[in-house]
Amino acid sequence: GAVVSQHPSRVICKSGTSVKIECRSLDFQATTMFWYRQFPKQSLMLMATSNEGSKATYEQGVEKDKFLINHASLTLSTLTVTSAHPEDSSFYICSARVPAGGRDTQYFGPGTRLTVL
Amino acid sequence: DAKTTQPPSMDCAEGRAANLPCNHSTISGNEYVYWYRQIHSQGPQYIIHGLKNNETNEMASLIITEDRKSSTLILPHATLRDTAVYYCIVRGGDMRFGAGTRLTVKP
């Protein structure tokens, strides 16, 4: 299957700082990428859809000014958590869509664990 | 996207087949059934997907009922490494996750 990477895998930061997470599709081009968040013992929650060359679409309740998404190329999307606070501590996971005419599939990155002190 | 219902947990003996059910009674004609699994602290792993025909790959088999209102994921010879949360997703657009089934494979 297609490979999606994330960097960093783990980050610890102080409250009030900003953190950038990178998501790359390694062996395919992805016009659409997705960002999810997962709290302990919960399922993945879709945060936003990232389209190459255009603004991201955010899910209801997700602050677009706090979670900045950039999808400047067909292989890279970034999520920046601005002015992070302890409640933003979570497991952030990206995915990339491989189009296949209705049978398209999403492949997920390994996730980034963010801890805000 | 149609809603799915899965049992919260299941156990399976190592080496035996694991059969994970999923109900999706409101599925519409153009929605595919996808299965992913998530091993602890990792990103979800794609397993298989199908529309109406049964599908098989190196990881699993997917059996979809004729009316498409339910499906079963079959891991033919479960190993301890198959212990994970398995998600059944019916998708016409974005991939949205429910609670899934926590499968525990026991020695």
Per-residue pLDDT tens digits for A79-88:
999 999 999 9
Q: What is the side-by-side order of every strand in the sheet holding A4-7?
A: A4-7, A19-25, A76-81, A67-73
Asked if B100 lies within 8 A of A43 by C-beta distance, the reply is yes
| Run of H or E residues at A86 | none
Task: Please give, rounded to a whole number of angstroms, the shortest distance from the CA of B15 to a CA of chain A.
Answer: 25
Question: What is the nearest CA distance from A61 to chain B, expressed in angstroms?
Answer: 16
Task: Please indicate whether, in this complex, the C-beta atoms of A103 and B46 are within 8 angstroms of each other.
Answer: no
> Is the CB of A34 less than 8 angstroms away from the CB of B94?
yes
Which pair of structure tokens corresponds to residue B18? Answer: 């694991």
Which pLDDT score is estimated for B2?
65
Predicted confidence (pLDDT) per residue in B7-58, tens digit: 999 999 999 999 999 999 999 888 899 999 999 889 999 999 999 989 999 9
The set of residues, in sequence order, having a beta carbon less than 8 Å from that of A40 and lying 6+ positions away, is none
A46-92 pLDDT, tens digit per residue, is 999 998 888 999 999 999 999 999 998 999 999 999 999 999 999 99
Q: What percent of chain B has pLDDT over 90?
A: 84
Q: Output the six-digit token pair for A15.
A: 């409250």
The per-residue pLDDT for B1 is: 61
